[in-house]
């Protein structure tokens, strides 16, 4: 399935093809497509990975929103819930069971909640929940992580930055996801020539890894405001020198996109000083991990931001960028909007269902316009609600929203 992407009402096509897949044999938490209405409908298999902490709470809400938005556009979903992260460790002894990875690979798309928690912090590396996420990304071969950061007019006062700095911010971080120091080898522990204990990792990129993420970033920038900033540390790191060389080589094929370069330390400062200067940012795995989290706080809350992880073929992985927030897990305090918006990205990027995605996006804006807020985005004069009630309010808006034809 070719995915037509829309973000902030801008049509973007990225060079990915998504393949339809067959039915799965698992029966856990499924709503079977065979139960669809008599009229012809589309049917998609979605693997749900609630994970840990607030993950199950926000996934439950997003699932309901996804179902309603799909039904209004003649779409049926078959959901399969699988364990991952700490929940999988407790259940199976590993953070990513083979059955979970297999279900994800066979799905049309994957919606992930959150992983991790204090309970597993002291585990050995291969038994940490975060290792399961890295294994999942590698197993799905998703290399392009798209993280939008947009300051909504309804939430501009929630930003930690001054209103005149935060207002109007609309940027996209395109992060390389399966290379760099998180996956590079050699890595490990040892001793140096003085006999001291050491730990070491390797930042390494092959040309094809940089070229493919560069093409994605240029394509996205082309459909946004035509500006792409490549972030590296080319004044110190050879891997970054090579990164810049390859980015510049690919740039020759996109003369309509204005390319700039920025060192990562300066980029971190500029995101706080004057974030409106950025349109699209492309960077490596570790820099993208850090900068996208920083950019999220400009918007007022990390609980508002979705993400999409895509590959050249196969299903995409969609998840909020927030963590598992174990301190508020099970207390109905989580903000589910990032996960709901991740479901919208799933529809747009993973399934090419732009109308259903727009229903969700409009519903979120309508809910915010009605002054409904969870604690992380609450301010005086608004109505404070919990995770479940926020989901119910979004469902009301989905049911009443009729998006324009796309």
Phi, psi of 121 (to 5 degrees): -60, -30
DSSP letter (8 states) at residue 320:
E
Sign of torsion over alpha carbons 120, 377, 166, 221: positive
Joined together, the tokens standing for residue 18 give: 């998504």
The vertex-298 CA angle with 296 and 304, nearest 5°, equals: 45
> Please, what is the end-to-end C-alpha distance for the chain in angstroms?
17
Residues in the chain: 406
Per the rule left: phi > 0, alpha: psi between -120 and 50, beta: everything else, 175 is: beta
Question: Which residues does 367 contact at the CB level (< 8 Å), separation at least 6?
Answer: 390, 393, 394, 396, 397
Q: Which residues form the catalytic set?
A: 182, 233, 265, 289, 293
Structure-derived torsion over alpha carbons of residues 90, 319, 287, 196, reported in degrees to the nearest 10: 0
Q: Which residues pair with 258 in a beta bridge?
A: 227
Q: Which is nearest to 268 in space by CA: 236, 295, 235? A: 295
Taking the C-alpha atoms of residue 358 and residue 349, their distance in angstroms, rounded to an integer, is: 12
Q: Which residues pair with 261 in a beta bridge?
A: 230
Question: Which residues does 1 contact at the CB level (< 8 Å), separation at least 6?
Answer: 17, 18, 19, 20, 108, 351, 352
């Amino acid at each position: 399935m070719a995915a037509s992407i829309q973000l902030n009402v801008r049509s973007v096509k990225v060079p990915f093809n998504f393949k339809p897949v067959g039915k799965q044999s698992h029966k856990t938490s499924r709503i079977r497509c065979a139960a669809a209405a008599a009229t012809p409908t589309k049917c998609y298999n979605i693997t749900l990975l609630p994970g840990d902490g607030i993950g199950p709470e926000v996934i439950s809400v997003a699932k309901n929103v996804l179902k309603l938005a799909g039904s209004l556009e003649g779409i049926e979903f078959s959901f399969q819930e699988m364990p991952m992260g700490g929940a999988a460790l407790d259940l199976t002894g590993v953070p990513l069971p083979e059955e979970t990875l297999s279900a994800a690979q066979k799905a049309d798309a994957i919606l992930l909640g959150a992983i991790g928690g204090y309970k597993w912090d002291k585990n050995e590396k291969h038994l940490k929940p975060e290792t399961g996420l890295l294994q999942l990304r590698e197993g799905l071969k998703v290399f392009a992580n798209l993280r939008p950061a947009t300051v909504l007019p309804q939430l501009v006062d929630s930003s930690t930055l001054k209103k005149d700095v935060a207002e109007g911010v609309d940027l996209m971080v395109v992060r390389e996801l399966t290379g760099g120091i998180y996956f590079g080898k050699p890595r490990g522990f040892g001793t140096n020539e003085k006999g001291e204990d050491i730990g070491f990792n390797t930042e390494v990129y092959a040309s094809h890894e940089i070229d493919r993420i560069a093409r994605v970033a240029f394509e996205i920038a082309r459909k946004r405001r035509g500006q792409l900033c490549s972030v590296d540390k080319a004044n110190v790191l050879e891997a970054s020198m090579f990164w810049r060389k390859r980015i510049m080589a690919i740039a020759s094929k996109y003369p309509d996109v204005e390319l700039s370069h920025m060192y990562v330390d300066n980029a971190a400062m500029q995101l706080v000083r004057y974030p409106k200067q950025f349109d699209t940012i492309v960077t490596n795995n570790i820099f993208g991990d850090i900068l996208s989290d920083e950019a999220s706080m400009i918007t007022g809350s990390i609980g508002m931001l979705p993400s999409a992880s895509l590959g050249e073929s196969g299903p995409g992985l969609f998840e909020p960028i927030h963590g598992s927030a174990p301190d508020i897990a099970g207390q109905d305090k989580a903000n589910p909007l990032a996960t709901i918006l991740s479901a919208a990205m799933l529809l747009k990027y993973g399934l090419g269902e732009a109308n259903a995605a727009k229903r969700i996006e409009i519903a979120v804006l309508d809910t915010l316009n009605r002054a409904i807020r969870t604690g992380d985005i609450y301010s005086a004069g608004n109505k404070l609600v919990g995770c479940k009630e926020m989901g119910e309010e979004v469902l009301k808006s989905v049911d009443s929203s009729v998006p324009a034809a796309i």
